[in-house]
Amino acid sequence: MTEVLSNNTTDKVGSLVKEAEALKAKLEEERQKLNDVTLSSVAERLEMITYLNIKPRRVLKGHQAKVLCSDWSPDKRHIVSSSQDGKLIIWDAFTNYKEHAVTMPTTWVMGCSYAPSGNLVACGGLDNKVTVYPITMEEDISSRKKTVGTHTSYMSCCIFPNSDQQILTGSGDSTCALWDVESGQLLQSFHGHTGDVMSIDLAPNETGNTFVSGSCDKMAFIWDMRSGHVVQSFEGHLSDVNSVKFHPSGDAISTGSDDSTCRLFDMRADKEVAVFSKDSIIFGVNSVDFSVSGRLLFAGYNDYTVNVWDTLKAQRVCLLYGHENKVSCLQVSPDGTALSTGSWDFTLRIWA
């Protein structure tokens, strides 16, 4: 009797697998019908970007070890950075002045982020926690720190989703989580990745209910923050995805990976539309960001350089030299007038 049952189950599973494969093939067929023209062929009509006058304007020195993460303040002037030395520093990017320096309980502070109001910063790392600090004029801001949430592995990245009341984190435990800042309550957890989550970014629209995550499972997922479900997934990278960023239009995402490429995935076409690579580039990408218009893609590499790509033509426009070790993080300022880069050479640099 049990044999008959197990045979039936095997048959059922077999037929369901076949059905799933057939549906996958059908979906691919439909997708190909819509895939009538490539991005590069459309972009041929556009003029080349010939001259970019981007120069190093500031060097921010103060960390005693590798800079791991940085974030611009909404006031377009201040930068928060975190480092392997366990320090969190708030800089005035105009004057090079350090306004605050906070020593964390552990080293390797892997993620830091400004709140939308500019009055809070969040950070975390190998302590598995996300901690929030209010920025006041007091000397010691660490006396008012607040631990908001705890993962079961390191916290790799954090971001405030459009309000100071909540914070979204990504972790080495392969999950993302949404926390209430005031109560420390876990509001939503996001399970789906099979590797460490390395990077997250919010969709640029006001309602802000979707975000993207990149992981060591080589995938980028688009999530619905309310339901906790994956609404879209993008594959194509051959190694860890270290950085993800939404295009300013909200219709595409860019990814940077250890496979030494950046890629552009279009959400409406549901596929990869561009690969940013050259045979001469053999080092991994740690961080990506778009210019305000979305026409330029900045990427920080392990070979100490920043490559600037034409997003539409997928051609390199220029190279920024200056760092003396791998570029671990980069971000375009909120008004688009400057670029900050952080590196394992212990410094941050401002380019404009």
Name the nearest CA neighbour of 331 among 302, 304, 292, 293. Answer: 292
The CATH number linked to 57 is: 2.130.10.10
Give 290-293's long-range contacts (Cβ < 8 A, gap of 24+).
Answer: 290/245, 290/247, 290/248, 290/254, 290/332, 291/332, 291/336, 292/248, 292/332, 292/335, 292/336, 293/248, 293/336
pLDDT at 38: 85
Q: How many angstroms separate the CA atoms of 336 and 291, rounded?
A: 6
| 26 within domain boundaries | no
| Residue at 19 is within a domain | no
Is the residue at 267 inside a domain? yes
pLDDT of residue 1: 60
Residue 248 in any domain: the answer is yes
Nearest to 270 by CA among 231, 309, 240, 217: 231
Sequence-distant (6+) residues with CB within 8 A of 286 are: 242, 243, 256, 300, 301, 302, 326, 327, 328, 329
Phi, psi of 10 (to 5 degrees): -60, -45
Could you tell me if 172 and 216 are in contact, meaning their C-beta atoms sit under 8 angstroms apart?
no
DSSP of 286-326: EEEEE-SSSSEEEEEETTS-EEEEETTTTEEEEEE---SS-
Dist CA 25 CA 303 (whole Å): 40
Strand order of the β-sheet with 296-301 is 285-290, 296-301, 306-310, 315-320
Q: Is 81 helix (H, G, I), strand (E, B) or coil?
A: strand
Write phi, then psi, for 13 (nearest 5 degrees).
Answer: -60, -45
Residue 28 lies in a domain: no
Per-residue pLDDT of the chain in tens (352 residues, 90 and over written 9)? 656 667 788 889 999 999 999 998 888 887 777 777 888 888 989 999 988 999 999 999 999 999 999 999 999 999 999 999 999 999 999 999 999 999 998 899 999 999 999 999 999 999 999 999 999 887 788 888 999 999 999 999 999 998 999 999 999 999 999 999 999 999 999 999 999 999 999 999 877 799 999 999 999 999 999 999 999 999 999 999 999 999 999 999 999 999 999 999 999 999 999 999 999 999 999 999 999 999 999 999 999 999 999 999 999 999 999 999 999 999 999 999 999 999 999 999 999 9
Residue ranges making up the domain that contains 308: 35-351
24 is a domain residue: no
Within a domain: residue 184? yes
Task: Please tell me the distance from the alpha carbon of residue 349 to that of residue 60, in angstroms, as a whole number.
Answer: 6
In a domain, 14, yes or no: no
Instruction: Show the tokens assigned to 321.
Output: 């030299």
CB 310 within 8 A of CB 325: no
User: How many domains would you assign to the chain?
Assistant: 1
